[in-house]
Amino acid sequence: MNSVLVLNGPNLRRLGTREPDVYGADTFDDLVALCRETGRRLDLHVDVRQTDDEAEMIGWIHQAADERLPVVLNPAAFTHYSYALRDALAQRTAPLVEVHISNPAAREEFRHTSVVAAVATGTIAGFGLISYVLALQAIAELLAEESRG
């Protein structure tokens, strides 16, 4: 069974109470359960983490690179300015899917730029928590492709 890290940046533990008109009423615990259940269906072991600390996030990215682990990443606010995170992600050794609950392109102008998108395998945004399901499905397909190829 392949392992996948699902990493979440600042404020995502506040899901359900933070701007429910933007992020919905589901909680972080709901997100964790959804990711784990999706992983079981896809034969993936899913490790879901959240941090408000940029250094901790970079440490997890280094771990993923060292262990050749695929990553589903919601960088949250780090998306728009963290060149340190972008540089860590550039060292990836497995698929990386950037994910967002809302559609950043349909929001405030400062959210339109992702400094991490250029080093990601792809980006999925705007589908609520289903964005994570789609990202995990993409990871599973990419891993299957690698094993065939």
Question: Scanning the structure block, which residue is given the tokens 């690179």?
Answer: 65
Low-confidence stretches of the chain (pLDDT beneath 50): none
H or E stretch including 46?
Answer: strand 44-50
The per-residue pLDDT for 144 is 95
The per-residue pLDDT for 108 is 66
Domain boundaries, the chain: 2-148
Contact 48, 114 (CB under 8 A): no
pTM of the model: 0.92
Q: Annotated catalytic residue: which of 23, 83, 112, 132? A: 23
The per-residue pLDDT for 112 is 63
The per-residue pLDDT for 106 is 56
Start-to-end CA distance of the chain, whole Å, equals: 18
The per-residue pLDDT for 105 is 66
Q: Annotated catalytic residue: which of 62, 81, 83, 100? A: 100
* Residue 23 annotated as catalytic: yes
8 a known binding residue?
no
- The whole-angstrom separation of Cα 121 and Cα 83 is 17
103 a known binding residue?
no
Q: Residue 149 has which token pair?
A: 């190829």
* Residue 132 annotated as catalytic: no
49 a known binding residue?
no
124 a known binding residue?
no
The per-residue pLDDT for 127 is 95
Q: Which backbone phi and psi does 33 adopt, to 5 degrees?
A: -60, -45
Model confidence pLDDT, tens digit, residues 83-113: 999 999 999 999 999 999 987 765 667 666 7
Superfamily of domain 2-148: Dehydroquinase, class II (3.40.50.9100)
Q: Give all strands of the β-sheet with 96-100 in edge-to-edge order.
A: 44-50, 2-8, 71-74, 96-100, 122-125
45 a known binding residue?
no
